[in-house]
Structure 1
Amino acid sequence: MQKPLALLVIILTGVASSPFPWKKRNERFHKLLLISFDGFRWNYDQDVDTPNFDNLVKEGVKAKYITPPFVTMTSPSHFTTISGRWVEDHGVIHNMMFNTETLRKYSHKATQNKTEWWDNGVLPLWITAQNQGKKTASFHYPGGGANYSGQSVDRSLVESFDHPDSNETEWRENIDIVMNWFTREDFDFVTLYYGEPDHVGHMFGPETENRKMIIRQIDQTIGYLRAAIEKHGLNDTLNVIITSDHGMTTIKKKPAVEEIFLANYTSFKDLVKFDILDYGGFGMILPKPGKEEEIYQALKYAHPHLKVYKKEEFPEEFHYAKHERVLPILLYGDPGYSVNGRLILYINKGDHGFDNKDSDMKTIFRAFGPDFKKGYLAEPFDSIHIYPLMCHLLGVQPEPNNGSLALTRDMLNSAASRHLLLPIIVGVAIVAQFVISI
């Protein structure tokens, strides 16, 4: 009896550890395209005529909204989506790479080429999929240009410093390039990033006609995407997920409200060694030696719409502060209240970086393709759960992650869901066989 039981443990362990133990060697999973429209707030398509987005609701899956991680910035949020890890786990804690010793700060675009900012021991899905025989590519997606444990993405394009965000012709050309990657070069997984509607949201604000115009342009691009998929014969073999990294809210400014200008409440020159501020609703401060308590007390109750924390006291629900890169003092404003440091050079009319629980920070999720249900409305979920969904669609064993397929599996049709049931069926059958034999 001992030998059968020992063998049973080994078999069941193998069933549990493998996501697809029943998969035949020649079975092909469908291809996957992940598209991110930066700064696409969850309700941007509700006050604009968007026939193509409306059609996606009929032909695929729509989530009411999804919640990005804190901090609600482009690079941290995108890397959570591609790795399935909270920000404090993957270490991409800001859009800008910085060095507290040299006091150097790198712009968001410059940071895209800094492997040392992205490679912190967490593997993004591109690399995990490649290690399991898949062919992957990144088209302007944040983090795609870095190396991870010495490995680079099979095909990677990084945005240039002067890359235009809103050129619709270029958007369509990018789609054509990606379609050729799938058909002519047999890529399995591609991520495609667009810098809108974030840019327009910053420049003009989210409650403007300019924002409505860019949403119409995005909707036309979705229509072009659907036509390109059909033209390239990918309707039955390509799954598509469309999402974003954060929302956008209107910035409150004088004379209507008192803005948060930290220099009004404390002396930066005397107390602060390094800060990363003036980029929206969130900031961090490294005090000079022995000055932490003084600056903390000076700012703690400085403004009714400013939240100030010591690193060790930052709310755990944000899954943010435990990483070693996080500075000793963290600040964020209530929605719409930007955090300004020494000198106000802030011109944005819309911004993000605020509490991810705020409704204006929520973003979109749409999906369609051979593995998704049609006309399915999903309940809200955190973007952390997109990663295990993508792994399942690709047939990839995921790296350790903070997400759960349980939050998204109801989106899948019966053909795709069979992969979720078979491990259980196999396990039950094995147990039954051994029970009978014993």
Structure 2
Amino acid sequence: MDLSVVFLQGLKTGSFHFPGGAATYSGQTPSKAVAEVDDHPNSNVTEWLLNIDIVMDWFVKDGLDFVGLYYGEPDSTGHKYGPETEERRAIVKEVDETIGFLVEAIERSGLKDTLNVKLSNYINFTMDLKFDLVDYGPSGMLLPKEGKEETVYQNLKGAHPHLHVYKKEEFPERFHYRNNERILPILMYRDPGYVVKRIVFQFSKGDHGYDNAEADMWTIFRAFGPRFRGGYVAEPFDSVHVYALMCDLLGVQPEPHYGSLAFTRDMCEGRWPPRSLPRYL
């Protein structure tokens, strides 16, 4: 969710450890912001609970309409130990308990009726470089040296059976990723279990960012609050549609996007009255 869409339309916003949330957008900054430092510990459950209480105060005492609250788990543990490990299961359990604390905190703060919640062996990258590997992991972007785009593309194309390489204009439309000036000339992604790296060593035992058609990349969507139908089980939908839902909940006009309310409309009870506490966490 682009915070600028919210506060440029008159709502009060906050960001607590949300990536990029403390930045300045079009000369505007959030009403409240706490940036996360690089070496911040992710697995301090006591701090998780304290952060929830702080955010509740932002809603109650400071009158914020939207807050992005971020925790680095279970992401960090999944990277370190892998997705199917006891360490990962333990941290997921703690996250689940924290969500329970969040529900209780909402009720204690009197927000139950006004707050909605959404919860390489084949390619040598180190010798005779003819490109910059700008983004890497399960997917990657390359900036070829001047005049070397076709050479780099032809050398990468078909270099590994689990590496998919495209020129920007040929990247599959279903990713909604190629039509932006910031996207580089050559894009690639790996099959699950493989990564694009600058170096030979791979320390992460779990990762995300693979093809979203893979079931292992699917996630859980859970939402509750006065706008959502209780006990409703939605059909699976792409995450790109969450943006339209969030803008509708807040009563703001969305920027151009690929999502649609058609995929989330049935989970909602109706519309907010105009400017009637459109709060969202």
TM over 0.5: yes
Partner of 1:392: 248
The answer to whether the 8 Å contact 2:249/2:272 transfers is: no
Matches within 5 A, 1:12-51: none
Partner of 1:147: 24
> Alpha carbons of 1:206 and 1:266: their partners in 2 closer, same or farther (altered >3 Å)?
closer
In structure 1, give the amino acid aligned to 2:262.
Answer: A
1:30-85 Cα distance to aligned partner (Å, 9 max, x none)? xxxxxxxxxxxxxxxxxxxxxxxxxxxxxxxxxxxxxxxxxxxxxxxxxxxx0xxx
Partner of 2:279: none
The answer to whether the 8 Å contact 1:271/1:291 transfers is: no
Q: Which has the higher contact order (CA 8 A, sep 6+)?
A: 1
Matches within 5 A, 1:190-209: 190-209=67-86
**SS class of match (1:350):** coil
**In the TM superposition, what is the alpha-carbon distance from 1:237 to its structure 2 partner?**
1.7
Partner of 1:364: 220
Larger radius of gyration: 1
Query: Which ranges in structure 2 are unaligned for 5 or more consecutive residues?
Result: 274-281
**SS class of match (1:276):** strand
Kindly indicate whether residue 108 of structure 2 is the aligned counterpart of residue 231 of structure 1: yes
**In the TM superposition, what is the alpha-carbon distance from 1:216 to its structure 2 partner?**
0.5
Matches within 5 A, 1:395-406: 395-406=251-262
In structure 2, give the amino acid aligned to 1:334.
Answer: D
CA distance in 2, matches of 1:127, 1:327: 25
CA distance in 1, matches of 2:79, 2:100: 25
**In the TM superposition, what is the alpha-carbon distance from 1:418 to its structure 2 partner?**
7.7
CA distance in 2, matches of 1:164, 1:131: 33
**SS class of match (1:171):** helix
The answer to whether the 8 Å contact 2:176/2:258 transfers is: no
**In the TM superposition, what is the alpha-carbon distance from 1:305 to its structure 2 partner?**
0.9
CA distance in 1, matches of 2:256, 2:142: 31
> Alpha carbons of 1:358 and 1:154: their partners in 2 closer, same or farther (altered >3 Å)?
same
> Alpha carbons of 1:327 and 1:400: their partners in 2 closer, same or farther (altered >3 Å)?
closer
RMSD: 2.0
Kindly indicate whether residue 216 of structure 2 is the aligned counterpart of residue 339 of structure 1: no
Partner of 1:375: 231
Query: Which ranges in structure 1 are unaligned for 5 or more consecutive residues?
Result: 1-81, 83-123, 243-260, 420-438
Q: Which moved more, 1:229-238 or 1:393-402?
A: 393-402
CA distance in 2, matches of 1:267, 1:350: 22
CA distance in 1, matches of 2:159, 2:204: 23
In structure 2, give the amino acid aligned to 1:289.
Answer: E
**In the TM superposition, what is the alpha-carbon distance from 1:236 to its structure 2 partner?**
1.4
> Alpha carbons of 1:299 and 1:376: their partners in 2 closer, same or farther (altered >3 Å)?
same
The answer to whether the 8 Å contact 1:165/1:194 transfers is: yes
**In the TM superposition, what is the alpha-carbon distance from 1:417 to its structure 2 partner?**
4.5
CA distance in 1, matches of 2:146, 2:197: 23
Greater helix share, 1 or 2? 1
Report how many residues are paired.
274
CA distance in 2, matches of 1:374, 1:285: 46
Aligned mate of 1:321, from 143, 165, 178 = 178
In structure 1, give the amino acid aligned to 2:101.
Answer: Y
Aligned mate of 2:210, from 342, 354, 364 = 354
**In the TM superposition, what is the alpha-carbon distance from 1:353 to its structure 2 partner?**
2.2
**In the TM superposition, what is the alpha-carbon distance from 1:136 to its structure 2 partner?**
1.1
CA distance in 2, matches of 1:204, 1:332: 22
User: Post-superposition, which runs of at least 4 consecutive aligned residues in structure 1 deviate over 3 A?
Assistant: 264-269
Partner of 2:134: 276
**In the TM superposition, what is the alpha-carbon distance from 1:398 to its structure 2 partner?**
2.7
> Alpha carbons of 1:240 and 1:298: their partners in 2 closer, same or farther (altered >3 Å)?
same
Among the aligned pairs, what percent are the same residue? 58
The answer to whether the 8 Å contact 1:266/1:295 transfers is: no
CA distance in 2, matches of 1:215, 1:320: 30
The answer to whether the 8 Å contact 2:130/2:144 transfers is: yes
CA distance in 2, matches of 1:134, 1:227: 25
CA distance in 2, matches of 1:397, 1:352: 31
In structure 2, give the amino acid aligned to 1:129.
Answer: V
CA distance in 1, matches of 2:249, 2:111: 15
CA distance in 1, matches of 2:144, 2:251: 48
1:99-119 Cα distance to aligned partner (Å, 9 max, x none)? xxxxxxxxxxxxxxxxxxxxx
